[in-house]
Amino acid sequence: MSVSPIIHPITPERWDDLVLVFGRRALDPDSCWCQRFRDHDDTSNRNALHDEVERAVVPIGLLAYVDGRPVGWARVAPRATLPGILKNRALRRVLDDDPSAWWVTCFVILPEYRGMGVGPALLRGAGEHARGNGASVIDGHRVDVKNLQAKRVSGSALFTGTVATFESAGFREIGRTCPSRPVMRLDL
């Protein structure tokens, strides 16, 4: 079964919807909260993301809704705002120096909506959002599940998205940092 989510940029008014999408992880203020590639001085990762949402001139991510219910999230922002990507040696070997490049860092999709088209819808929305804000390309560091050593892959290992999801949204591979981690790009 597939769904047709409605995609909205994250705004301060939609914060409570984002918290709902995080599900059980929302109870832990120090879970990732999409801070893996960020540097912050906040008291928790949750506070850091909340502060970013509150201060952002351009929204830093997108929410997916099905029948009015928030079901998914993707962080998408200019690559230059993500120091963890800029400092990563393996990624620097693959990426060009493009100040207008954007990056999709992660996804959170409610378990009951996984595999129903929410991820590709968020990626299509990310492309529109980035293009509308002057991006030249949008990249991401995906997981190629076919090249993983594990026979079974947990959902938490796929927070960056999969090759198949990105290909379905028009992204192409531009290089790899290791056999199971391609960098995917959508030219805008």
Dist CA 63 CA 148 (whole Å): 29
Give the start-to-end residue ranges of the domains of the chain: 6-187
Helices (H), 42-117: 45-55, 83-86, 89-94
Cα 177 off chain centre by: 18
Distance CA 182, CA 163 (A): 8
Tens digits of pLDDT across the chain (188 residues): 889 999 999 999 999 999 999 988 888 888 888 878 788 888 898 899 999 999 999 999 999 999 999 999 999 999 999 988 889 999 999 999 999 999 998 889 999 999 899 999 999 999 999 999 999 999 988 776 676 656 665 555 556 677 788 888 899 999 998 887 889 999 99
């927070």: which residue's tokens? 159
Bridge partners of 108, per DSSP, are 73
Nearest one of 40, 108, 41, 48 to 74, comparing CA atoms: 108
CATH match for 6-187 among 3.40.50.970, 3.30.360.10, 3.10.20.30, 3.40.630.30: 3.40.630.30
